[in-house]
Structure 1
Amino acid sequence: MTILSLLIYLAIDFQYKAKNKFFQLNYNWGEIKTIERFTNVKLDSVSYDYLRLIDNNTIGNENLSPYSSYAINDDYYFRCVSISKESDTIEFKGVYWINTKPSQQINISNFSIVNLELNQKGNHTVCMIGDSQLIWLDLKYLRKSISQKLEDVKFVGNNTDVFGYKHSVSLLNNSERLLNQINQLPQSDTYILFLGAHEEKVKQTKKNLSLIIDKLLKRKSKIILVSPPHYKVSSFEKLYQNITSVYKDFEKHDNVEVIDLKALAPINTNIFMADGIHLNSVGQDILTLNLTNALK
């Protein structure tokens, strides 16, 4: 390897590692767009994942969305998981400070809703579809973790997570709702489907899932079906059987891959949160590893 080749390699390697270590470098800072700006805003309280503002009723609910980015004094940028507004206060929960967190003593001169896009330069598009099992609590890190391991992956979808990655997941989604919205999904090279936490009509689940998968296969895309772990909630037993039986039927298809979380979980290892449905950090690691391998 020549000196020039070595320098080029080191520069690329440094840039890649820097973007993983300093995640704020992944945003398109050169093209920030201010959507709306407010001046009559004061800080009530702030922490590493929480922000409470006093806005004197100048900001309406129609202006606020967890899919947007926000800025304080054009210096402190953040996103969040949820927003609640009551009277003259606004609470941002599950806050992710993109660059740095302001101090409690800060004097707010302006508060802005901004468009700050996350740079994704991959060519292989991936669309996650499903329910809270793909976005709730620690699962908010799922797309970020995969993206940091696979440079060629580009997440697409109708929604945006707390880091700015696109997806088409809805917190309380189920197979009936997804089937009704299937035509609204963007075209993608790969779809990842994980459902089961909020099924209302268990008897319809098998039929709904079969129709969903058939419609996705017509798009000539690869489909990764995440077969849920054996839920600890006894009332979910029939649902678990219905989901796994559908996935076994489609597993033989060339464009379908099934990730069986029950089979992948180590024996006597708890992979659930206290609710017995959603994955804990151990379960999340198993899911992330196997999705990453399936996308390689």
Structure 2
Amino acid sequence: MFIDFSLKGHREFPQLNFDWDRTELIMDYGECELISLAHNTVNLRYKKNLNDLNNNNTLKIKTSKGKLYYFRYEYKLVKDGIIQLRGGVWLTQQPKNLRQTTISVSEIHLPIMQNGDINICFIGFSDNKWGGFRSIRKYMKQKNHDINFIGPKQDIYGYPYMPVPVNKGIEFLVKNINNIPNADIYIIFIESLKTSKNRQVWSQLADGLSKKGQKTYLNTWPELKENPKNEEIRKMNKLLQEIATCHKNIKIMELNGFNDAGATILDNGQYFLNNSGYKLYKKIILEQIEDKKE
């Protein structure tokens, strides 16, 4: 296997974090027609069995000359007879001059190597993989090797987390509290104003996680400039602070009130921090973890 250590920018990937000796074949799709590829995309001629592709796994590509390449991606879509795997990263080098050719495609489980002492379970919407949140676990692991991430789903960089379906929210976690893995630390980032409406459900979640772990971290949301949604954001922040007051294991990471920490909010109530907000978020989390070690 060739590893390109010169990869920079959007192609950079910590290949050595994976345990290549423990790969497990999930599905062999056989020969497929490669249409094109790029630094973050693989396009294949559609065939029915490719519907089973799962972004929790790693795509293994073998060329007619026997060269192997590995690719992880965020999502897939079918358009004009082509299945597009998008938002991806190459674990090894990106193939060069490879298009309009036949390749062999399979899916493998590629475990990530973690040998830390602090088990952290990130809990968040299954689509909080964009922007600053996309690489937050990768960044934290690079800064603190004592961290182990746990959960049933792997992010684009292979780090586990606990996803929450976008259309289900906090209620989903309460109903599935027994499926949330035990951890030293839970970090919850649920970016939807809909969650502010049910205090009882938040209390049930806080009770459940307090029994499973040592600490649970919630964060306040930065208010937006001259935005009618600010009233709802204030209600959300107040609710989270009250939940923390009533549960000694629940801690609040304060993001509101910092000049550069802002956000974007969609019409459906979903809320995304800006780059400065994510930077502050990561800084506070790492500080809290360091405090735990001491």
Whether these two folds match at TM > 0.5 is yes
1:59 aligns with 2:49: yes
How far did residue 134 of structure 1 move? 4.5
Contact (CA 8 Å) 2:185, 2:213: kept in 1 or not?
Answer: no
CA distance in 2: counterparts of 1:33 and 1:250, whole angstroms: 42
Equivalent residue in structure 2 for 1:30, among 13, 16, 21 = 21
Structure 1 residues not aligned, in runs of 5+: 1-20
Aligned residue for 2:103, secondary structure, equals coil
Counterpart residue number, 2:250: 256
Counterpart residue number, 2:74: 81
Q: Normalized per residue, which structure has more strand?
A: 2
Counterpart residue number, 2:173: 178
Counterpart residue number, 1:215: 208
Counterpart residue number, 1:119: 113
CA distance in 2: counterparts of 1:134 and 1:218, whole angstroms: 26
How far did residue 253 of structure 1 move? 4.5
CA distance in 2: counterparts of 1:234 and 1:278, whole angstroms: 16
CA distance in 2: counterparts of 1:132 and 1:278, whole angstroms: 13
Structure 2 residues not aligned, in runs of 5+: 1-11
Aligned residue for 1:186, secondary structure, equals coil
CA distance in 1: counterparts of 2:54 and 2:132, whole angstroms: 20
Aligned residue for 1:292, secondary structure, equals helix
**TM-aligned CA distance change 1:279 to 1:196, over 3 Å:** closer
How far did residue 89 of structure 1 move? 2.3
1:286 aligns with 2:286: no
Q: Normalized per residue, which structure has more helix?
A: 1
CA distance in 1: counterparts of 2:230 and 2:170, whole angstroms: 15
Q: 1:145-294 alignment to 2 at 5 Å?
A: 145-170=139-164, 172=166, 173-197=168-192, 199=194, 202-204=196-198, 206-231=199-224, 233-235=227-229, 237-238=231-232, 240-251=234-245, 253-263=247-257, 265=258, 267=259, 269=260, 271-273=262-264, 275=266, 277-294=271-288
**TM-aligned CA distance change 1:78 to 1:240, over 3 Å:** farther
1:207 partner amino acid: Q
CA distance in 2: counterparts of 1:103 and 1:220, whole angstroms: 47
CA distance in 1: counterparts of 2:129 and 2:79, whole angstroms: 25
Counterpart residue number, 1:68: 57
How far did residue 142 of structure 1 move? 0.5
2:171 partner amino acid: E
CA distance in 2: counterparts of 1:254 and 1:274, whole angstroms: 30
Q: 1:96-107 alignment to 2 at 5 Å?
A: 96-106=89-99, 107=101
**TM-aligned CA distance change 1:238 to 1:133, over 3 Å:** farther
Counterpart residue number, 2:4: none
Counterpart residue number, 2:85: 92
Aligned residue for 2:49, secondary structure, equals coil
**TM-aligned CA distance change 1:277 to 1:119, over 3 Å:** same
